[in-house]
Amino acid sequence: MIELGLMLNIDVAKTQHDIYIRNGLFTQITRIELGKSIEQAHMRNRQMIAQWCYEKVKPENIIEKIIENNKTYYVINDYSKLQRLIGELLSEIQHVKSEGDFDLAKNIIEKYGIKIDLEIHKEVLTRFKKLKIAPYTGFINPEYKLVMKNTNVVDV
């Protein structure tokens, strides 16, 4: 993407990794009642990826859990290793899909995608409540119209 001029540098990708891990482990659980499990498939997917990665990299401290002033943070210390790990998970998921390995799929989702750590959940709900904002975000897609001059596009 850098070579194509779509990104100035790798920091954009690092930011996306930060957002994905934070959403999977924290942000999305603001929508769930305390003590409940994750039911929605997309939310299970996000937590499964983030939690699987976190658990796999604990020994190397690639994603570090920091508790400071009674607040939990996750810091990514090695983006390239995390990216390779996400590739390993993708390979595992492709194996599940191509082989139809229902038991492996079930085990991965049940282990990493459904249950929410109760202490983290309490903390997230308490912290989020102070923001006084909705737990959802949305967007409106603009309607584009081509402005043509003869056969050339001159504006959108």
* Predicted confidence band of residue 4 (pLDDT cuts 50, 70, 90): confident
Residue 62: per-residue pLDDT: 93
In a domain, 5, yes or no: no
Length of the chain: 156
For the chain, give the mean pLDDT. 92
Asked whether the beta carbons of 89 and 95 are under 8 A apart, the reply is: no
Residues in CB range of 156: below 8 A, 6 or more apart: 144, 145, 146, 147
In a domain, 98, yes or no: yes
Domain range for 42 is: 11-155
Partners of 63 in beta bridges: 76
Q: What is the pLDDT of residues 120-147, one digit of tens each?
A: 999 999 999 999 988 877 888 899 999 9
In a domain, 74, yes or no: yes
In a domain, 4, yes or no: no
In a domain, 3, yes or no: no
Compute the distance between CA of residue 147 and CA of residue 46 in angstroms, rounded to an integer: 40
Domain count, the chain: 1
Residue 13: per-residue pLDDT: 86
Compute the distance between CA of residue 121 and CA of residue 31 in angstroms, rounded to an integer: 10
Tell me, letter by letter, the H, E, C secondary structure of 45-58: HHHHHHHHHHHHHH
- What mean pLDDT comes out for the span 5-17? 87
In a domain, 148, yes or no: yes
Residue 20: per-residue pLDDT: 92
Residue 113: per-residue pLDDT: 95
In a domain, 68, yes or no: yes
In a domain, 1, yes or no: no
AA identity, residue 18 = D
Q: What is the pLDDT of residues 24-76, one digit of tens each?
A: 999 999 999 999 999 999 999 999 999 999 999 888 999 999 999 999 999 99
